[in-house]
Chains A and B, each alone.
Chain A
């Protein structure tokens, strides 16, 4: 803590005021008393940021506590549902996810590389496109909607297998053009409020926007259980919400724009450990 913060903390303590529920930069994220996950890491050399902070750091003590225990974390209701779904036979081929992927733990590491370029389609694969690809092409089942319950639950289950591993998306080679598109979108002002992602999440993180404590907009914890709507929220669902908040017409979930943006935002968090499924406000 620097000198000013120390003085203020002393003043607060001396005046007998209880700790106010602001983010505690020094709090440690330890899950179930055993898994400690770094929530602050050094930014890569070419990053516009100096340090990377997980969204967890910016939340109140009570919200942070909800993520520290897999029972207290309401996301696990949906993880349980996905575990059942994983074994469920669906579609014309009479298979379940488990028919091919015997153990969901097989997916360890997958979340850290997504979105990633797909050489055969020329597009970016996200967790959702991979899941739907299996469902439609291999199971003969109906695809799931991008941000509806079954999809977010399955993303949470698969993402959980990478919990604690640092994000590591590739932005070079074939992914480069998508990275550049995503970067352009990130810095372009849009909407009636004429704001870009960067205005809040790069220029003003750690300040208050009304009563909200702005984060860096990292996505290492998605899908996340938001207290606001008491359910799991997907990355592109959140992008959509953010754009609506600045009164811009959102891109469509699954669109080239949002997928490129997802790659760019993920790359801004390269190095931050996966926290899926997290709890945010």
Chain B
């Protein structure tokens, strides 16, 4: 007997996937905007294309694996747009580093995770990923 009940799950998943927020449509919260502005200084912020990996559905908001890879970046800042306080971490990379990082973060609810990077040429770019954070039926 295989896990046939997964079929119902897969159908449901397709419905969930369709409603994911498209990348361009996200609007960051005021606090996030302030943090991004402080990071960018005078430079304009444009959309980046570096890797930001987050789960589509976080099994538990207490421990969500996040990783990024922005080759050439001097600085990277991670924000959790929907947390009471959006700041997550910021990194300064030396010449030996490959400007990548991986960590585990707390997300208070479904929201966008934003990564902002200062690239080698001083330009500021940002990438966002939507993460659905679920509340379990058992054990909270």
Contact = CB atoms under 8 A, between A and B. Distances in A.
Interface of A: 1-2, 4-5, 8-9, 11-12, 15, 17-23, 25, 50-51, 53, 59-63, 65-66, 200, 206-214, 226-230, 241-242, 245, 281
B64 to A, nearest CB: 8
Given A8-B14, A60-B58, 15 more contacts: A9-B10, A19-B56, A21-B58, A22-B57, A23-B6, A50-B1, A60-B57, A60-B59, A63-B59, A207-B5, A210-B134, A211-B134, A211-B135, A228-B60, A281-B136
A214 B56 CA distance: 19
Contact of A22 (B6, B18, B63, B137): B6
B11 interface: yes
B138 A208 contact: no
B124 to A, nearest CB: 27
A12 B135 contact: no
Contacts of A51: 1
Contacts, number: 119
A21 B59 contact: yes
B13 interface: yes
A120 to B, nearest CB: 37
B4 A18 contact: no
Contacts of A1: 2
Given A8-B11, A51-B1, A20 B57 contact: yes
A210 B136 contact: yes
A208 B57 contact: no
A212 B8 CA distance: 14
Contacts of B62: 227-230
Shortest 4 CB-CB distances between A and B: which pairs? A209-B137, A211-B134, A210-B137, A212-B136
